[in-house]
Chain A
């Protein structure tokens, strides 16, 4: 498309109409890919061409405005270019304003970070448009801070909004921050509350990063908000948006140098010294003094090889351990006991069985008396050891305590973790000798690449289930597995059914269906793992049936973490219960579940849930196919 050059009084509106028509028919890419670079060059220094360009876009008919503006914003190589091309269109044209400030930011979320940078940079460049920038920031913050948005919008959209907020913040000038300081503070406080309440770690992290950034902008002097979260590529990338790079180096997708993070670590402890004090400058002993007759040589040292570090000995008997843990004032001994407990329990199974419930009780209530490294890990390992040594009574105790009054959330979640870890240990055949203990592994949710082939479903579901469990010991890398009877068989029911029993009965301090949805989420995931580990046990069908009913009762829960857990439960049921049993005993529940899954795939806002539901449907299909091929 050639352009009319040199003509002074040509009517631009015809061209605008053409442009509009083309764009609205969906041909933005073709026309704008030629138009925009041409215009960029022409408007670079020529004012007239700039005005022509502005007239061009202003005259685009309203119904096509959206398509045109969208196209321009997406194509422009930089905010300043966009500014040259569009001019003050957003101020003059209502539709354009709507598209730029509302639609692209709040209603759509598929645009890349580049586009966001261009858009918001464009708004920031002109004083007339800056008012829009402030308004946009306020709208974004309102959305960011609304608890229903946090609960129901997909994580991708929340990420998009957070990015937009950070870029806006980076453009704000001092006086603008001053005037809206109070509002920023209020919205930050509300927003951070909703975000931290969420069960999904990535939402929590988004909230933390945005809150930190806002706080650093409004409190330039004085203490700023600082959270602790996993600082990886994604986080750094997000934070890099807060700092504007000069337009010539616009490549915001590469992570910047970490400037905001790495809060200044407290330097080496500086000793307070008086004016009069002299810093410790060691005076080297003079060489001449050494030449003197050294009477020290007359003194022959004795044997000092026995001089070692003083260590307190840990008790050798289980009952002694109990005594130390419950009553002893001697903190060294207490520490030594905590460290030695797990191995003692494993070496003395008979002695442990005598006092197992008591020991479990002590461990559940054990608080950190002194600062031991890895205390939580030590306690958990000891609990798992006790549970695996004497499963039935201890499981009975733990599951009853899960639903009792006056336990902290941490303790209830501990119970779940311990049950899952012990179930895992019991259901795996024992490798010869000790389990390998590596250092503590951070709980992390692995993002696996999606795969279409149905053979990988099982592996992916496995991984997903395993990754949802907080594990402190590294998985065993078993080279050869000795086969032995499945110890989980006899106790699976004891682990599983009591946990499911009372979930709808609220207590004064613990309401699974109400506020404590975090624990509900963990419970659901734990049940999924227990179900999965119960493969090949006798109780598996009954468990499956109970679990599907449980899922059915909770299927409309508002928290996406809980829903993900419910879908994992279904996967576990489909994988663990033998196909024949599924068809014969659990048919009704299966059909109901299938219809619900279809619903989830179409309508659930959370992408993870939709994916899991799809996997489950595919699993069901596979099962059907498998059953058809078996000659009946």
Chain B
């Protein structure tokens, strides 16, 4: 007899606007507080203290324009935020400061969330949608030098890049980029040559979000239709469709794989969060709490497995935080 789905462990209220992005920072060993960053449509980034469950700080750096991506760069003292004011801001939050140390002008009016990967101590690669329609630009941080610009070949009607994922296959090797586009295809790019290695048409509709498991070389993408597509990357760096999964209602806004690669979560336009097992995409739970579409998801990076959390931000201004499948 299956149990009814669990309720959220707690719900964070007070953003005052639709929540578009979430990011946890709970891994630090010091007696520091576990923290959740949220970016909202009113341009404010809230820093939530997960012990008191209240807002510690509110960062307003995007001029009232919606913030749709927040990421930490090595600890919660350095934050990167991307907003609809066509800027990516770098914040210094150590010791209670709330200053923007640097900003990058993206000149892009789209919604594509940027992707960060650490390549060496103090060096990061940032991939973001560039000014021209189909292009993706990769910068090195903190120097802000351009590493390469990834242009699809002429005549390929890919549309806007919708979602990006940078990763480094092994330590020291060249990073690769996966980009999902408006025409429903996912392209694997080689950053050193700037050429596409493989392209796979996964969906009929734009790819809304994707995530990739570099250990198993398998990835998953969600779109505005009813299908989740799982694809794999073989040794020749070719993408192939592995499996598809039909959903009850159409529209996936975000898809994330938990860091331990056991489960994944999808945020749906039908107000529901779905949990699947990653190995075989077995449906595990449907979490029905929000009253409008769920925009974003984040898994926490707690070192202790039992404390792991899943947060979901929705258009109804609430962030629900769940503790699910924490025993494994």
Name A residues whose Cβ lies closer than 8 Å to a Cβ of B: 269, 271-274, 276-278, 280-283, 285, 294-296, 298-304, 306-310
Closest to B238 in A: A278
B285 at the interface (CB under 8 A from A): yes
The residue from A282, A294, A295 contacting B241, defined by CB atoms under 8 A apart: A282
Interface string of B254-274 (1 = CB under 8 A from A): 000000001100000011100
Tell me the complex Cα distance, A147–B325, Å.
Answer: 79
Contact (A299, B277) CB under 8 Å given A280-B201, A281-B240: yes
25 contacts between A and B (CB under 8 A): A272-B157, A272-B183, A273-B199, A274-B153, A274-B156, A274-B199, A277-B199, A277-B200, A278-B238, A278-B239, A280-B200, A283-B241, A283-B242, A285-B242, A296-B262, A296-B282, A300-B284, A302-B3, A302-B285, A302-B286, A304-B283, A304-B286, A306-B5, A306-B288, A307-B248
Among all A-B residue pairs, the 4 with the closest Cβ atoms: A303-B2, A302-B285, A296-B277, A307-B286
Tell me the complex Cα distance, A283–B231, Å.
Answer: 9
The residue from B196, B200, B262 contacting A295, defined by CB atoms under 8 A apart: B262
Q: Are B277 and A302 in contact (CB under 8 A)?
A: no
B4 at the interface (CB under 8 A from A): yes
| A residues near B6, Cβ cutoff 8 Å | 302
Q: What's the dominant secondary structure at chain A's contact region?
A: loop
| A residues near B284, Cβ cutoff 8 Å | 299-302
Report B169 CB to chain A, min CB distance, Å.
20
The residue from B5, B200, B262, B327 contacting A302, defined by CB atoms under 8 A apart: B5
Q: Are A310 and B270 in contact (CB under 8 A)?
A: yes
Tell me the complex Cα distance, A296–B282, Å.
Answer: 8
Q: Are B240 and A307 in contact (CB under 8 A)?
A: no
B249 at the interface (CB under 8 A from A): yes
B280 at the interface (CB under 8 A from A): yes
The residue from A299, A302, A304 contacting B328, defined by CB atoms under 8 A apart: A299
Contact (A299, B263) CB under 8 Å given A274-B199, A276-B199, A310-B270: yes
Closest to A304 in B: B286
Number of interface residues of B (CB under 8 A): 45
| B residues near A285, Cβ cutoff 8 Å | 242-243, 280
Q: What's the dominant secondary structure at chain B's contact region?
A: loop
The residue from A274, A299, A308, A310 contacting B282, defined by CB atoms under 8 A apart: A299
| A residues near B249, Cβ cutoff 8 Å | 309-310
Q: Are A296 and B280 in contact (CB under 8 A)?
A: yes
| B residues near A304, Cβ cutoff 8 Å | 2, 5, 283, 285-286
| A residues near B21, Cβ cutoff 8 Å | none
Tell me the complex Cα distance, A273–B204, Å.
Answer: 12
| A residues near B232, Cβ cutoff 8 Å | 283
Tell me the complex Cα distance, A517–B45, Å.
Answer: 68
Tell me the complex Cα distance, A560–B185, Å.
Answer: 59
| A residues near B241, Cβ cutoff 8 Å | 280-283
Closest to B249 in A: A310
Q: Are A303 and B270 in contact (CB under 8 A)?
A: no
Q: Are A303 and B242 in contact (CB under 8 A)?
A: no
B123 at the interface (CB under 8 A from A): no
Known: A282-B241, A296-B282, A304-B283. 20 other contacts (CB 8 A): A271-B201, A271-B204, A276-B198, A277-B199, A278-B200, A278-B239, A278-B240, A282-B242, A282-B243, A283-B240, A296-B278, A299-B325, A302-B6, A303-B3, A303-B5, A304-B2, A306-B286, A307-B248, A307-B286, A309-B248
Report A281 CB to chain B, min CB distance, Å.
7
Tell me the complex Cα distance, A282–B240, Å.
Answer: 7
Per the 8 Å Cβ criterion, residues 1-33 of B in contact with A are 2-6
B245 at the interface (CB under 8 A from A): no
Q: Are A295 and B2 in contact (CB under 8 A)?
A: no
Report B69 CB to chain A, min CB distance, Å.
27
B54 at the interface (CB under 8 A from A): no
Tell me the complex Cα distance, A299–B325, Å.
Answer: 7
| A residues near B144, Cβ cutoff 8 Å | none
| B residues near A302, Cβ cutoff 8 Å | 2-6, 284-286
| B residues near A283, Cβ cutoff 8 Å | 232, 240-242
Q: Are A276 and B240 in contact (CB under 8 A)?
A: no
Tell me the complex Cα distance, A304–B325, Å.
Answer: 16
